[in-house]
Chain A
Amino acid sequence: MPYDPSKPLQDRITDIGPKNYEEFLPPVIKKNFGKWDYHEILEPGVLVHVAEGGDKVFTVRVGGARLMSISHIREIMEIADKHCGGFLRFTTRNNIEFMVDDQSKVEPLKKDLLSRKQPGGGFKFPIGGTGAGITNIVHTQGWLHCHTPATDASGVVKAVMDDLFDEFTSMRMPAHVRISLACCLNMCGAVHCSDIAILGYHRKPPMIDAEVIDKVCEIPLAIAACPTAAIKPAKIKKPDGTEAQAVAVNNDRCMFCGNCYTMCPAMPLADAEGDGIVIMVGGKVSNRISAPKFSKVVVAFLPNNVPRWPETTDCIRKIVEVYAGDARKYERLGEWAERIGWEKFFEKTGLEFTHHLIDDFRDPAYYTWRQTSQFKFTG
């Protein structure tokens, strides 16, 4: 029985939750669930997990644009049907994993994956993303779907990953480097604990569309949406000379989050010159050696230079190269910066230290200033 729009509640099924993951486990995974003994990265992008009883599962990890068409998914399915008994998995970082239960099946799978190219020459399924390398970027929607982005997501990610491609397919970093992107400060992508974070940022307060604001917006909701209480009610003159109930924005208090625009379409804030990218570095989520850390702002603004964001890719490349050359084995980017000192980080990377990088936002700011006479001179 198909859905009948005239009886929307007929036979309605709700609250059934997700599918049971057990239906989707490949046989070798199901058989050895909870019995894995160790794993090894055989080469970039290829892992073997060995079970206590000796069973092995070989995994080939490939990068993916998280924005994915069903034609592409069908191609993934075709590969999984051909090589992997009809199963596959995705990682939390938008990679795809093809698993086989015998080493002899690895090479044909790899060959098949690498043979598939896009019309522009790019790989459909680049193999890599393991170990001490740079794996896929986790990101948000950007200009493709979001209503408050300050930059694109998929386009920036494509530009950065093209530039860092060799690091995806190799493992020459001191430790793994996690890059993430969020297209505005609301950080749906939670980039605040990444080795390198690319963050879209608006720099102009919202405009007020006086002509329609009283028709399309509920003023109290726009006011309530502001996290810094920068919006207050005000009468404004409409273009036709009449007065209308509207709002005024205290520009000095605006943090450019766009929450008012979500509630009130008459308060757009996007701007070609105003919007761009903030670079943050040194965060991590793992508890390995040192505690998890937040990322820190090291570049306050880079422009949205479409379609390939050269300033952003150059900046990231520079940070990665200096880190790779200077950090010790196992040292994450943030651990390295803390060991050498952030003043040295700026010296070594050549990034300019500006007043924008000194925290002045509320209480946590104090804890980032230097409360000791110990520091290093830089030249």
Chain B
Amino acid sequence: MKHKTPLLDQLESGPWPSFVSDIKREAESRTKNAKGVDYQIPVDVCDDILGVLELTYVHKRTHWKHGGIVGVFGYGGGVIGRYCDQPEMFPGVAHFHTMRVNQPGGKYYSTEYLEKICDLWERRGSGITNMHGSTGDIILLGTHTPQLEEIFYELTHDIGQDLGGSGSNLRTPSDCLGKSRCEYACYDTQALCFDLTNEYQDYLHRPAFPYKFKFKFDGCPNCCVASIARADMSFIGTWKDDIRIDQKAVAAYVGGEIKPNAGAHSGRDWGAFDIQKEVIGLCPTGCMAWDGKKLTIDNPECTRCMHCINVMPRALKIGKETGISILVGAKAPILDGAQMGSLLIPFISAEPPYTEIKELIEKIWDYWMEEGKNRERLGELIKRKGFQKLLEATELEPVAQMVKEPRTNPYIFWKEDEVEGGFTRDIQEYRKYHLR
């Protein structure tokens, strides 16, 4: 290896996959160049990654600087500029820009496709990736400025693949695997994600907003892609009708023939399955009953938390009248504290061409583009202006489902047209009856 890395070497032991060993492997592969690849950035880029990281472990301070201008022509997102602050020591990573590549729905891949990405990134980049970034993109980690356009050209021409979002853009939407392999999926997350991603390509690549905007698609309230915590608009699958019960299968769970929770707890002896304690007793609404033979659910009382279905997936199924709940405004803490999504649409159909959903999205964007301050997420705007303003902007009727509880103060800002006779009054008429 080009640089000595005694600190990083200590991260090569232990059972978990070592990223240090992996980068060394790529460094060796580049040095050897068995396939005769015509490398477009320095052959020792991976050696220099390890070198600069080792130096960081010594200094305990990052050696990267931000770069804001780099990108591909006409796109405001998809590339994150990065420069090393020791370019002479580590010329291979003097530039170390990242490209975000829009991942496929459910993160399924064919090896045929991955081969093309690997070939491209071997020749024109560091050969190091993230599978995947936090938002969901394929991250191609580290290349030099002149390669950016070349890579974009080959991605679009040879692979038919576009970049993802960054900056004040629509960020790369992401989904759970949905109906492709999950019996809980209440709608086709992949179809909706793919449709909206294509519909809003302009917003994904060119900034139009005060700040970032995220869509995430969870097929059920288990929220495997964390939409409720992370997305400005979360699309969470739900249903309106009854949970379907297979009483025979319930009996099989009670009789110990089927492991509860799909076997998720089998690593420890929790004792015999106790339907009363583990299902009925933990139901947050208390809407279930078990008489020793038959399970009953008072469905109008159910809030669809998924617990009973998760515990007995062979006996209980989501309803048939399925759709989406839409929550808005989730974000990480900076600045004013973290926000969860707030329920805006209790139930909407998720059938293509998704016209109603798109109309809602565009109304929300119009409102945010008009009223949002610089770097204000949608959730912060809603907080600043109030939920009622959002209802006006989206032309939605208030429903009690939108709140956990009604307001605890009576300080209602009545509008003139809501009060009989309006605000204009005759003081003279008043004075006839009230002395000064």
Instruction: List chain A positions with a Cβ less than 8 A from chain B.
Output: 1-3, 5, 8-9, 11-21, 23-26, 29, 33-34, 36-44, 49, 57, 59, 63-74, 76-77, 80-81, 86-92, 94, 96, 118-126, 130-133, 138-141, 143-149, 152, 154-155, 158-159, 161-162, 165, 168, 170-173, 176, 185-193, 224, 227-228, 257, 261-262, 265, 268, 270-272, 275, 283, 285-290, 292, 294, 304, 306-308, 329-330, 361-364
Contacts and interface: CB of A to CB of B under 8 A. Distances in A.
A62 B106 CA distance: 17
19 contacts: A5-B150, A14-B74, A38-B314, A41-B262, A67-B19, A86-B111, A88-B108, A92-B225, A119-B21, A122-B21, A155-B8, A155-B57, A158-B20, A171-B263, A172-B267, A283-B229, A292-B229, A306-B57, A307-B7
Contact of B17 (A124, A155, A307, A308): A124
Contact of B306 (A149, A261, A286): A286
B62 A146 contact: yes
A14 B263 CA distance: 47
A25 B107 CA distance: 10
A67 to B, nearest CB: 4
Interface string B256-293: 00010111111110100000001000101000000000
Interface string B8-43: 101111111111111101100100000000000000
B108 A89 contact: yes
A13 B265 contact: no
A122 B57 CA distance: 21
Interface string B53-93: 10011011111111000000111000000100000000000
Contact of A20 (B16, B104, B265): B104
Contact of A16 (B19, B56, B162, B282): B162
A192 B333 contact: yes
A354 B268 CA distance: 35
Contact of B162 (A18, A39, A154, A227): A18
Top 9 A-B residue pairs of the complex, sorted by shortest distance between their CB atoms: A131-B264, A162-B14, A120-B12, A21-B105, A171-B267, A69-B26, A3-B153, A270-B61, A287-B221
Nearest to B277: A329
Interface stretch (B114-122, B361-369, B424-432): B114-122
Interface string B149-179: 1100110110111100000000000101101
Contacts of A227: 334-335
Given A18-B194, A41-B264, A91-B107, A67 B122 contact: no
Pick from A2, A12, A268, A290 the residue with the most CB of B within 10 Å: A12
A162 B11 CA distance: 10
Contact of A39 (B53, B102, B262, B340): B262
Contacts of B278: 329-330
Interface string B136-155: 10000110001001100110
B183 A37 contact: yes
B109 A40 contact: no
A158 B96 CA distance: 23
A89 B109 contact: yes
A153 to B, nearest CB: 10
B17 A63 contact: yes
A66 B337 contact: no
Contacts, number: 412
Contacts of B66: 147-148, 261-262, 265
B90 to A, nearest CB: 13
Contact of B64 (A125, A130, A145): A145
B229 A13 contact: no
B21 A118 contact: yes
B268 A29 contact: no
Contacts of B29: 69, 71
Contacts of A154: 19
B413 interface: no
Interface stretch (B195-203, B349-357, B388-396, B415-423): B195-203
Contacts of A94: 131-132
Contacts of B13: 120-122, 162
A167 to B, nearest CB: 9
Given A24-B104, A155-B57, A171 B265 contact: yes
A41 B224 contact: no
Contacts of B48: none
The binding surface of chain A is classed by DSSP as: loop
A132 B129 contact: no
Contacts of B129: 67-70, 73
Contacts of B263: 40-42, 131, 171
B156 to A, nearest CB: 4
Given A171-B268, A265-B66, A306 B334 contact: no
A87 B337 contact: no
Given A86-B111, A91-B107, A308-B11, A8 B73 contact: yes
A92 B18 contact: no
A18 B22 contact: no
Interface in B211-258: 221-230, 236
B274 to A, nearest CB: 9
Pick from B107, B284, B310 the residue with the most CB of A within 10 Å: B107
Given A18-B161, A87-B110, A171-B265, A158 B14 contact: yes
Given A40-B259, A131-B267, A363-B336, 12 more contacts: A5-B149, A14-B156, A24-B113, A57-B181, A59-B181, A73-B114, A90-B131, A123-B17, A131-B265, A132-B261, A171-B268, A290-B284
Contacts of B159: 19
Given A271-B61, A275-B61, A306-B57, A17 B21 contact: no
Given A68-B22, A89-B106, A145-B82, A80 B111 contact: yes
B112 interface: yes
A92 B332 contact: no
B102 A17 contact: yes
Contacts of A152: 56-57
Contacts of B128: 67-70
Contact of A126 (B10, B15, B96, B194): B15
Pick from B108, B129, B130 the residue with the most CB of A within 10 Å: B108
Contacts of B229: 190, 192-193, 283, 285, 292
Contacts of B227: 285
Pick from B23, B65, B265 the residue with the most CB of A within 10 Å: B265
